[in-house]
Amino acid sequence: MTQLSMYGILDKKKKSGELSTAEIQFFISGMMNGTIGDYQTAALLMAIYINGMTTAETADLTDAMLYSGTALSFDDPTVVDKHSTGGIGDKTSFILAPIAAACGVKVPMIAGRGLGFTGGTVDKAEAIPGFKTDLGLAEFERRIKENGIVMIGQTSEIAPADKKIYALRDVTATIESIPLITASIMSKKLAEGANGIVMDIKVGSGAFMKDRAQATELAKSIIGTAKRFDKKAVCMLTNMDQPLGNAVGHSLEIIECIDVLKGNGAEDLTLISLHLAAHMIHIAGITKTFDEALIRATQSVKDGTALAEFKKLIVDQDGNGNVVTDYSLLDVAPIKMEIIAQESGYIKSFINNEIGFMCTELGGGRKVITDTIDYGVGFYFHKKIGDKIEKGESIVTMYHRAEQQELAEQICDTFNYKIIEITKEPVSKVTSIIDLITE
């Protein structure tokens, strides 16, 4: 039997060879115990980025990363989670999880913080006064069984190999690798005990995946890997060429989520949230068809049970549940500045990722991990792509602090001359749901 070595593994993958289960396990084990250095890990990541991985290799990598830490297991097909590749105004977790829970799904949410131009789900949750996300894994497991829904921050107990690999991918230009993305997502979702996963893959200028072909490739990789673990999975491709919903900024987004759960939300955000929740309900086996699940999801909003689940989640995690009726309990920056259209016409496009960067400049995001988030700043969009706009009409309302007046004026100029494009010719509205991939 040939003795395993990191040199041999690197040489094999450099030449586009297929790594064995034993070789992948040897790599993850050595990386975790320190016998394989960062320089060798980085070299392998680049070889994978260039030469790819087979479905079997991706599953083996997922498995090794999954068992690098604690892995929960629930003997319950109704334990289903959702994952999104993220984007500007992406806040669906706060809507779909209560909807799914109201319909009988158990939703285990281990979420992340924001860094860069996209907001983090945990940061948004912590905009709710008192909401506690730093629960241990044992408490997480107990609450899933007893309450059916829980949201916590990422923990070192779950897939620690992913944390090490991701940190190196971030600095070695190997982020955009379908096998590495798949293993990262699936190792964490499987470790939290999900028996099904609904994937929301964002496509467009404000998304990680810029085109449909790349997003489709990721979807097929996710589904293929899920099947090898005997888990159910569906992937929705959704549009991220404009902010999802109307609000960008932590408190503003929480308010918008509550509005959706009251039946008063933005059309695109409502549509995507209901469909994601319905897929969760369907693959949990609660309904026989997706159409029936969509009816159930819609009804839970109409009859108030989804909103009640959201309030219950907040209260169970020490938050102030009164926010669902009293928005003044949320910190919203007091100064409003209108970003005014400089000409009449139609909204043609947004440079969507720049909107996230502008929110970060106001303090609504992190430039480095140690930055403190200002939950109250952000933007509220009055117009979407394809909407008619008159000169002098407000496109966006910006929320900022009094001491940020000069910065706010600079951001206003940036919106008008860089971020928003207005054209004289009519423009088609975007399709919110681009595709559904189940095979």
pLDDT at 367: 75
* Average of per-residue pLDDT values in the chain: 92
pLDDT at 115: 53
Are residue 313 and residue 382 in the same domain, yes or no? no
Distance CA 265, CA 88 (A): 17
Residue 117: pLDDT above 60? no
Instruction: Return the higher-pLDDT residue of 24 and 86.
Output: 24
* CATH number, domain with residue 16: 1.20.970.10
Are residue 178 and residue 128 in the same domain, yes or no? yes
Domain termination site, one of 271, 297, 326 = 326
Q: Please give the residue range of the domain that contains residue 410.
A: 332-423
What is the per-residue DSSP string for 120-138?
Answer: -HHHHHTTSTT------HH
Q: Do residues 392 and 228 make contact, with C-beta atoms less than 8 angstroms apart?
A: no
Copy the structure tokens of residue 11.
Answer: 């040489």
Are residue 269 and residue 149 in the same domain, yes or no? yes
Are residue 44 and residue 128 in the same domain, yes or no? no
Is 62 inside a domain boundary?
A: no
> Between helices 55-66 and 178-191, what is the axis angle to 10°?
40
Is 168 inside a domain boundary?
A: yes
* CATH number, domain with residue 199: 3.40.1030.10
* CATH number, domain with residue 390: 3.90.1170.30
Are residue 91 and residue 194 in the same domain, yes or no? yes
Is 63 inside a domain boundary?
A: no
pLDDT at 207: 78
Are residue 372 and residue 407 in the same domain, yes or no? yes
Are residue 364 and residue 305 in the same domain, yes or no? no
Distance CA 66, CA 192 (A): 10
pLDDT at 253: 96
Q: Do residues 45 and 180 make contact, with C-beta atoms less than 8 angstroms apart?
A: yes
End-to-end C-alpha distance for the chain, whole angstroms: 38
pLDDT tens digit sequence for 360-387:
999 998 777 677 889 999 999 999 999 9
C-alpha neighbours within 13 Å on the C-beta side of residue 413: 5
Are residue 33 and residue 15 in the same domain, yes or no? yes
Q: How confident is the model at residue 118 (pLDDT cuts 50, 70, 90)?
A: low
pLDDT at 416: 87
Are residue 254 and residue 309 in the same domain, yes or no? yes
Domain termination site, one of 326, 354, 369 = 326
Are residue 322 and residue 349 in the same domain, yes or no? no
pLDDT at 218: 93
Determine the longest span between alpha carbons in the chain, in angstroms. Answer: 76
Where are the strands (E) in 40-137, listed by range? 80-84, 107-111
Cross-strand partners of 378? 399
Q: Do residues 210 and 203 make contact, with C-beta atoms less than 8 angstroms apart?
A: yes
pLDDT tens digit sequence for 60-107:
999 999 999 998 888 899 999 998 888 889 999 999 999 999 999 999
Residue type, 402: A
pLDDT tens digit sequence for 328-358:
999 999 999 999 999 999 999 999 888 988 9
Beta carbons within 8 Å of 389's beta carbon, 6+ residues apart: 341, 344, 345, 346, 347, 383, 395, 422
Is 1 inside a domain boundary?
A: no
Span 103-121, average pLDDT: 78
Span 152-165, average pLDDT: 87
Q: Do residues 358 and 94 make contact, with C-beta atoms less than 8 angstroms apart?
A: no
Is 408 inside a domain boundary?
A: yes
Beta carbons within 8 Å of 221's beta carbon, 6+ residues apart: 55, 58, 178, 179, 181, 182
Span 261-284, average pLDDT: 97
Span 46-60, average pLDDT: 95
CA 194, 197, 198, 201 torsion-angle sign: positive
Is 439 inside a domain boundary?
A: no
Are residue 141 and residue 36 in the same domain, yes or no? no
Span 123-143, average pLDDT: 91
Are residue 230 and residue 337 in the same domain, yes or no? no
Instruction: Return the higher-pLDDT residue of 119 and 24.
Output: 24
Give the closest residue to 280 by CA, choosing from 199, 391, 188. 199
Is 249 inside a domain boundary?
A: yes
> Between helices 267-283 and 290-302, what is the axis angle to 10°?
120
What is the per-residue DSSP string for 19-39?
Answer: PPHHHHHHHHHHHHHTSS-HH
Tell me the percentage of the chain whose pLDDT exceeds 70: 98
Number of structural domains, the chain?
3
Its pTM stands at 0.91
Residue numbers annotated as active site:
83, 162, 169, 184, 188
